[in-house]
Amino acid sequence: MEETEKADYPSIPDTRDPIYLENGQADLKGTQKSELFARECGVGSDKSPSNSGHETLLGDETYPEGGLRAWLVVLGSWCGLLASLGLMNSIATLQTYIATDQLSDYDEGTIGWIFSLYTALCFLCGVYVGPLFDRYGPKWLIGPGGVGIVASIMLLSICTEYWHFMLSWGILNGIATSLLFTPCLTAIGHFFRERRGFASGLASTGGGLGGVAFPLIMQSLFDKVGWGWAIRILGFVCLLLFAFANILVRKRLPPAKNASPHPDFRIMREKPFLLLTIGVFFLEFGLFIPLAYISSYALANGFSEKFAFQILPILNAASVIGRALPGWWADKIGPFNTNMISLCVTIFACYVVWLPFGHTTPGLVIFALMFGFSTGNNISITPVCVGRLCHTQHYGRYYATCYTVVSIAVLLSLPVAGSIVKATNGDYWSLILFTGLTQLIAVVAMYASKVASVGWSPWANF
């Protein structure tokens, strides 16, 4: 078990941050929380009674904001996310292939449950992964997670029946991915605060690049070596990436005193966090629909099979830029503001581009570029939004709690989407309207969370 390092600098309380407190103080205003923390907690001190049951933070820390070790953690996170989120961003290619081959006798809604369960477990199992990361660090999570994902990919290469796909991909890969997802993102918060948006965005570009490379690799190999070896080659690539992630990803800060590896849903009583969780719930509900159905949409509207497989890499290529650039911008104007702007772009893309012009090649390509760019920002900056509402030593717990609730959204999104398409006799207009509506609800909830934290001003940097 690795030892955590303490900061080499004097700890100076930062009263700008809203929630540096003991559990049970959720009803205090942000400034009250900061003042209380600064007053009661000295550097590395613990003023609470030993039998109080509260988790008292060790005090404010300074952050390296760079340096070799910090950027190696970002590189390791990039490798882990390239493999894990790259696979997640490639589900449209996998779903379209098996829907026309191994599982051609099943409707899209039924097949969608495989990938819906997979994405749900990626987030749901994080309810324990986050607290375990806070308590013990990433080593004992990333290693088993990488082994599980590679085993899942190898098993996927020999699947022929529905239950094969459900067990190997839906369940095994979903659980294994959850072991990597949270540590790779939250470890960055131990090294960056002022530049956390940029560093997180840079690491999350790995998932976008994987979403570009993996579909193109699979499309090329399907014709040359067939399904089985195409998937196995992908597995070997992921194995190499996970090895780098396991070596490089580290945590820096010690756990909060008396920190427990068990989840604590009492933090949902904090109004800003509750509203943010609602916003992320609807954001993720709509986000996975185009990722899974854009290739099927293209085929249904008369585009060639080649173009149908290529539109997903186009979307993910835009996502790479959307993860990196807005991450830098989020450090300037605030992660909540950046996320809300991106959600407005997503709504515009759905209602003004995809709905009226999606049946044309320029319309579908422009939609893919806009949706990929905006949702790429949302994916990379949402963890930073969570970090604004908690202490870094509780980052994993808050992040995991949020995405445990969100797992319900991703579990339902693809089957619901398939049922909506089926209800309109294979026409996708209703699905487009529904996708835009989820993003509209998300932006309202995120703005409400911001209001609960810093007031009504839309110009507040938050």
Predicted pLDDT at 263: 62
Other Cβ atoms closer than 10 A to 120 = 24
Provide CB contacts within 8 A for 172, sequence distance 6+.
148, 151, 152, 155
What is the dihedral sign for C-alpha 138, 375, 286, 395? Answer: positive
* Token code pair at residue 60: 């404010």
Per-residue pLDDT of the chain (462 residues; tens, 9 = 90+): 444 433 333 333 343 343 333 333 334 444 344 333 333 333 333 333 333 333 334 455 677 777 888 899 999 999 999 998 889 888 888 888 888 888 888 887 788 889 889 988 887 887 778 778 877 788 889 999 999 999 999 999 999 899 999 999 999 999 999 888 778 888 887 888 777 777 887 888 888 888 889 988 998 898 889 899 999 999 999 999 999 999 998 887 776 666 665 666 788 889 999 999 999 999 999 988 988 888 889 988 889 888 888 888 898 888 888 877 766 677 778 889 989 999 999 999 999 999 999 999 999 999 999 999 988 888 778 888 888 888 777 777 787 788 888 888 888 888 888 889 888 888 899 999 999 999 999 999 999 999 998 888 777 777
Report CA-CA distances (Å) from 321 to 209, 212, 214, 249, 292. Answer: 10, 12, 17, 23, 20
Per residue in 136-153, pLDDT tens? 788 889 999 999 999 999
Please indicate, yes or no, whether the overall pTM of this predicted structure exceeds 0.75: no
Find the angle CA(86)-CA(91)-CA(97) to the nearest 5 degrees.
Answer: 130
Residue 38 has a pLDDT of: 36
pLDDT of 166: 94
pLDDT in tens, 334-371: 889 989 999 999 999 999 999 999 999 999 999 999 99
- Distances in Å between the Cα of 375 and the Cα atoms of 112, 152, 160, 289, 317 are 21, 27, 33, 12, 12
Helices (H), 101-195: 108-124, 126-136, 139-156, 162-165, 174-186
| Predicted pLDDT at 323 | 76
- Measured CA to CA in angstroms, residue 203 lies from 187, 229, 233, 320 at distances of 11, 29, 24, 10
The amino acid sitting at 333 is I
Q: Which of 178, 185, 189, 230 is nearest to 205 (CA)?
A: 185
Average pLDDT for the chain: 80
Q: Are 149 and 87 in contact (CB under 8 A)?
A: yes
pLDDT at 22: 34
Q: What angle do CA 371, 145, 173 make, to 5 degrees?
A: 60
Closest CA to 134 of 57, 80, 234: 57
